[in-house]
């Protein structure tokens, strides 16, 4: 069974009712168990869990330290292009926004890379809009080939691709793909994605299956918090994660928690999640799944990021620019969204160290990738 079939057996309203009817007893039961089910995750997500937040935070911290030690992996986004053929109601790069469009050339990519490397980064996340003609597979292949000598871990957050296209990019050195469903509510999804390839809900939903079949090293999942009821959406995201972990067990997984931020042409979120609720969600994921990597970006403010370090997060970006050329080429171009924590990577690293944690700049090397190693053993050129 692929995820689409499993997903279609669930009803949004029934799931929502079930989460909101969980009781304190369900929460205590979930906290006391050794391993947790999706029903337990619902309890940990529910409003009934709020009085147990302190207990959840302590357990989350304990489980995170047991699996990951006191470490925070550092990564940085590199926006390659703001061209996009889709209309998404929440994004500054949306096709209907009349902004200056920009796609980095080879020379500009290398200039950005030089600025990023000077900050100490070894893990880069390449980001583009969804414009197949401009930033399709040939552009991405070229970009990965260009930057591969400078980074040991390359992630992308770009348009969903076919399995064979992911395989081509992996052969160039791609390690990780982030693909967020944004919302699992089909109606709401339609409302927010009115034009372009992204309007196909199921094509996006099935992307992690294509990635799993391609044998990707790691994939990142998430919802855009603010579009719909975050508790129900998070349940579906955990359902997706649970299915993927069982089906593609050799792949690693991460979850991100983007809360909708102000951006050009964007209206206010339909649903507001406060800081305590975000802490609850992060702890719920950790208690549900001790292996999962949990990531927080510069969308969140300084104070929140300082305090969440010890509660379950395992990776963080810092000093991020969300505009193509933002580090060195064209710092004034339009951002995808406003960032909230404007500290430099060095300042964030010092904050992590002050809390008794280690900022990890390199946690992976391409020589560990079986596919590349195999190709190299066979004498196939991979660089
Ligand atoms: S969210 Fe992605 S696909 Fe949608 S408008 Fe922004 S860049 Fe394009």
Q: Give tens-digit pLDDT for 235-262.
A: 999 999 999 999 999 999 999 999 987 6
The confidence score (pLDDT) of residue 331 equals 78
Residues of the chain where predicted confidence (pLDDT) is lower than 70: 262-265, 267, 364-383
Q: Using most ligand atoms within 8 A of CB, pick from 77, 198, 258, 260 the residue to mutate for ligand 1.
A: 198
Nearest Cα neighbor of 333 from 319, 322, 345 is 322
For ligand 1, the distance from its centroid to the CA atom of residue 196, given in whole angstroms, is: 10
Residue 366's pLDDT is 62
Model confidence pLDDT, tens digit, residues 186-220: 999 999 999 999 999 999 999 999 999 999 999 99
Q: Which atom of ligand 1 is nearest to the CA of 336?
A: 6
What is residue 270's predicted lDDT score, i.e. its pLDDT? 87
What pLDDT sits at residue 208? 98
pLDDT at 375: 47
| C-alpha of residue 136 to centroid of ligand 1, in Å | 14
pLDDT at 339: 80
Give residue-wise pLDDT tens across range 323-342: 999 999 987 777 777 788 99
88 CB within 6 A, ligand 1: yes
């Amino acid at each position: 069974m692929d995820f689409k079939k499993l997903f279609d057996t669930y009803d949004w309203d029934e799931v929502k009712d079930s989460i909101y009817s969980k009781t304190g007893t369900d929460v205590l039961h979930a906290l006391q168990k050794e391993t947790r089910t999706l029903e337990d995750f619902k309890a940990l997500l529910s409003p009934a869990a709020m009085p147990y937040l302190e207990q959840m935070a302590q357990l989350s911290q304990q489980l995170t330290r047991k699996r990951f030690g006191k470490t925070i992996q550092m990564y940085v986004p590199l926006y390659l292009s703001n061209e996009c053929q889709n209309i998404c109601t929440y994004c500054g790069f949306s096709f209907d926004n009349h902004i200056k469009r920009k796609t980095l050339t080879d020379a500009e990519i290398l200039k950005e890379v030089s600025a990023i490397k000077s900050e100490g980064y070894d893990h880069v996340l390449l980001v583009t809009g969804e414009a197949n003609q401009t930033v399709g597979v040939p552009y991405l292949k070229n970009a990965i080939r260009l930057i591969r000598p400078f980074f040991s871990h390359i992630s992308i957050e770009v348009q969903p691709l076919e399995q064979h296209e992911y395989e081509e990019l992996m052969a160039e050195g791609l390690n990780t793909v982030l693909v967020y469903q944004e919302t699992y509510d089909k109606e709401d999804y339609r409302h927010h994605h009115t034009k372009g390839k992204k309007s196909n809900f199921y094509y996006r939903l099935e992307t992690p299956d294509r990635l799993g079949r391609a044998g990707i090293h790691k994939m990142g999942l998430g919802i855009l918090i603010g579009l719909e009821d975050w508790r129900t959406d998070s349940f579906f995201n955990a359902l997706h994660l649970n299915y993927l972990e069982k089906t593609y067990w050799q792949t690693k997984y991460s979850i991100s928690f983007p809360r909708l931020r102000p951006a050009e042409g964007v209206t206010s979120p339909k649903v507001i999640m406060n800081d305590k609720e975000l802490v609850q969600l992060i702890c719920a994921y950790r208690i549900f799944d001790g292996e999962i990597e949990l990531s927080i970006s510069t969308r969140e403010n300084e104070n929140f990021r300082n305090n969440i370090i010890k509660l379950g997060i395992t990776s963080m970006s810092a000093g991020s620019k969300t505009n193509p050329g933002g580090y060195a080429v064209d710092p004034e171009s339009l951002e995808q969204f406003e960032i909230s924590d404007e500290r430099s990577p060095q300042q964030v690293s010092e904050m992590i160290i002050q809390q008794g944690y280690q900022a990890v700049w390199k946690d992976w090397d391409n020589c560990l990738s079986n596919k590349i190693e195999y190709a190299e053993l066979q004498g196939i050129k991979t660089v």
